[in-house]
A and B are shown apart, each in its own frame.
Chain A
């Protein structure tokens, strides 16, 4: 393959990735109720979005669950990654395997298994079930993100700290956390997007009183398209873009 063919191939795939999203964003500025006919530029749908108080409540739900789930998952995920790196314990291999399985297992299996758990425990579906589920599916991604940062760490540092009388918690707090900070932030950001975008698991584990954005978008699209959805999706895409860029930025810094 020569250089031109290669670049053309890359270009074609990137076009495939971005063209539909570009169309979506362009149409979110369309000044027409029939969303497919172009009637000139307008920010009408964005203004409607801002005025829609129901949607604001739903967005607030999504952000609340996202922030809380990402925070708890990051704390537990980081502790787990450090434990996997530092300690030898029975079931270590099993734990690693379990985390891997949770990453590859189809969302729908986790969704219905959590649904059965909550119904067995007679916990009514809503905020708490949603939060617990989101924490659970975010943890493995944090573990992997943080763990991969530790490959190549100089183990002597931890031995030196221990010889100087530091406790394991101090080593965690004073050495691991600062050294892993970029990966911890990246893990948090990735958990936050995962939580913000999840459809399948949330679809099963939340109740009618606690709606979140992806489910709202799903039902809006299903019921027939109002141009407001285009605007909402564009905003969500923009938010993802910002998060991915920040995550990449912190991860790349002083690697």
Chain B
């Protein structure tokens, strides 16, 4: 075999073998596990094929958790979009000199441990924490508010943790926006609103979708945020999976929930790829994602 071929086969083979063993086979194992049944007496998995784990998901308790999780993650996604879009837009239009440093200030929270950031929110929202002390000092309230261990706290925590994941893809997209198009539209007498809906929004659509995906999916699975901020009340899909695996020891049921989460991701990816492929037809150089 030619020495060049050997190097080529080595690099391609290595990654395929690795991802095959640690990404493809594992997800197939999850699928297989989700079709097995759980023996309540021995806490072991039984080799007995069944769809019971999926049928059980229609159970009201599971359905409630799913819907609650959807609602919460959806709210988080919309909040991040509403807060993040103007931010990314202003940032992309800033002077080039200070833009680098401003962008770095968004990248830092992006890479900082979300656990530490969640803990910072815990400190802020405590009954004897800064926020309550501040509100009492201003005279808005007289008794400390119960902020921690509420749904609002989970919402704040998720938005706080995931906002950079919305801003960065939006920024990447808005920065590439051709401002000459906007100048032309303005010259031709388009109103600001019309410019936004007819030019800016369609052109930044892939960024919006990528951002929403990067916020929505983690928002459903970051089980430690409700754990630390929400008490027992708010459960996400992530908490449900954690619970089924580590507390109830019902792996087949947890696997079935994970498969549902994976399918949801597949759906979002499908929409994203469809939109992105329509979009790249007009571009010369495709980027990696």
Contacts of A172 in B (CB 8 A): 7
Cβ-based interface call for B19 (8 A): yes
Is the Cβ of B16 less than 8 Å from the Cβ of A91? Answer: yes
Give B226 Cβ to nearest chain A Cβ, in Å: 12
For chain A, give the interface size range. Answer: 35 or more
The one of B4, B122, B269 in contact with A101, judged by C-beta atoms closer than 8 angstroms, is B269
Cβ-based interface call for B151 (8 A): no
Contacts of A51 in B (CB 8 A): none
CA distance A204 to B224 in the complex (A): 13
Determine which residue in B227, B261, B287, B289 has the highest number of CB atoms from chain A within 10 A of its CB, and name it.
Answer: B289
Given that A23-B124, A80-B15, A96-B288 are known contacts, is A196 also in contact with B113, CB under 8 Å in the complex?
yes
Given that A9-B87, A117-B26, A151-B285 are known contacts, is A105 also in contact with B122, CB under 8 Å in the complex?
no
CB closest chain-B residue, reference A92: B12
Is the Cβ of B22 less than 8 Å from the Cβ of A108? Answer: no
CA distance A233 to B115 in the complex (A): 9
Cβ-based interface call for B109 (8 A): yes
Contacts of A169 in B (CB 8 A): 3-4, 7
CA distance A87 to B114 in the complex (A): 38
Give 1 or 0 for each of B1-42: 1 = CB within 8 Å of chain A CB: 001100110111011101101111111011001000000000
Contacts of A221 in B (CB 8 A): 115, 119, 122, 228
Contacts of B70 in A (CB 8 A): none
Is the Cβ of B228 less than 8 Å from the Cβ of A6? Answer: no
Cβ-based interface call for B203 (8 A): no
Tally of contacts, chain A with chain B, CB under 8 A:
236
Give B32 Cβ to nearest chain A Cβ, in Å: 9
Cβ-based interface call for A222 (8 A): yes
For chain B, give the interface size range. Answer: 35 or more
Which stretch from A40-48, A177-185, A234-242 is at the chain B interface? A234-242
Task: List residues 128-179 of chain A with CB under 8 A from any CB of chain B.
Answer: 132-133, 135-136, 139, 144, 147-148, 151, 167-169, 172
Given that A108-B261, A109-B30, A113-B30 are known contacts, is A100 also in contact with B3, CB under 8 Å in the complex?
no
Determine which residue in A76, A100, A113, A241 has the highest number of CB atoms from chain B within 10 A of its CB, and name it.
Answer: A113
Cβ-based interface call for B153 (8 A): no
Is the Cβ of A217 less than 8 Å from the Cβ of B119? Answer: yes
Which stretch from B51-59, B98-106, B179-187, B193-201 is at the chain A interface? B98-106
Is the Cβ of B15 less than 8 Å from the Cβ of A95? Answer: yes
CB closest chain-B residue, reference A252: B100
Give B12 Cβ to nearest chain A Cβ, in Å: 5
Residue positions of A touching B, CB distance < 8 A: 1, 6, 9-10, 13-14, 16-21, 23-24, 27, 35-37, 76, 79-80, 82-83, 86-87, 89, 91, 95-96, 98-102, 104-110, 112-117, 120, 132-133, 135-136, 139, 144, 147-148, 151, 167-169, 172, 190, 193, 196-197, 199-200, 203-204, 214, 217-218, 221-222, 225, 229-230, 233, 236-237, 240-241, 243-245, 248, 252
Apart from A17-B160, A204-B246, what are 19 other A-B pairs with CB-CB below 8 Å? A14-B105, A80-B11, A83-B11, A83-B15, A105-B262, A108-B223, A108-B241, A110-B23, A144-B288, A167-B7, A168-B8, A197-B111, A197-B113, A200-B221, A200-B223, A203-B242, A236-B113, A243-B111, A244-B107
For the complex of A and B, list the 4 residue pairs with the smallest distance between their C-beta atoms, beginning with the closest: A113-B26, A20-B120, A197-B113, A106-B221
